Every structure is written in structure tokens, then in C-alpha cells.
Amino acid sequence: QVQLVESGGGLVQAGGSLRLSCVASGRTFSTYAMAWFRQNPGKEREFVAALSWKGDSTYYADSVKGRFTISRDSAKNTMYLQMNSLNYEDTAVYYCAADRLGRGTTRRYEYQYWGQGTQVTVSS
């Protein structure tokens, strides 16, 4: 079992930056693929970014490509999402997710473990 806890959300003005963190505990974190998803009320949870278990492959949604960067520090059991040039459309609850099979896909049903989410609000 893996427990995930996100932090780093908050209120930021458009054009600003935030860095989200996701701390994992429980099982071996280093072999799990990790990802960030986000969700607004009444909408489906959407893919944001993913990172392979080796950390050598990254995937981004088109809407965040060039602005967001996903990374991990396996020694700290922590994953990050650096978000720059934020805009109003980035407002959402952000969730980190882990896939014990190490696939690192864009499909939310392939992730077995989820955090509780952290709110990001971008003011225009």
C-alpha cells in the first residue's frame, strides 16, 4: 500500500508560479510511475503530467506543455510539479497518483493510488 500526500497549492495571480509536492509512504516508491491529474467540480479528472518509474520519460497534456515540469526525488520519496505562467484555466484540485506497474500513462484508471488533492486557484 502507498499513501500519497500533496501540498503546495494556494492562490496565485495569473502569470505566477507554484510548486506542488507529493510525498509517498508505505511501499517502494522508486519503482512506481507517478502522475499529476486535476479536476474541477462537475468535470472529469484530467491528466496533467506523468513520469516513468526510472524518471527518464515524461509526458504532458498539451495545455501545460512548456509551462509545467514534473520531477521526482526518489531519495525523498517525493514528486514535484513546477507550474509556471499559470492562467485561470489551471484552477483546479490537483491530485498525485501512483502506478505500481510503472507504466506512467495518461489514463487515470491505470493508477491505483491517489492523494487527497490540493487546491490551486489562479486569479485573473
* SS3 annotation, 8-51: CCEEEECCCCEEEEEEEECCCCCCCEEEEEEECCCCCCEEEEEE
Query: Each residue of 65-96: pLDDT tens digit?
Result: 999 999 999 889 999 999 999 999 999 999 99
pLDDT lower than 50: segments of the chain: none
- 35 CB burial (10 A radius; 0-12, 13-18, 19+): buried
Q: What is the pLDDT of residue 111?
A: 96
Q: What is the pLDDT of residue 118?
A: 98
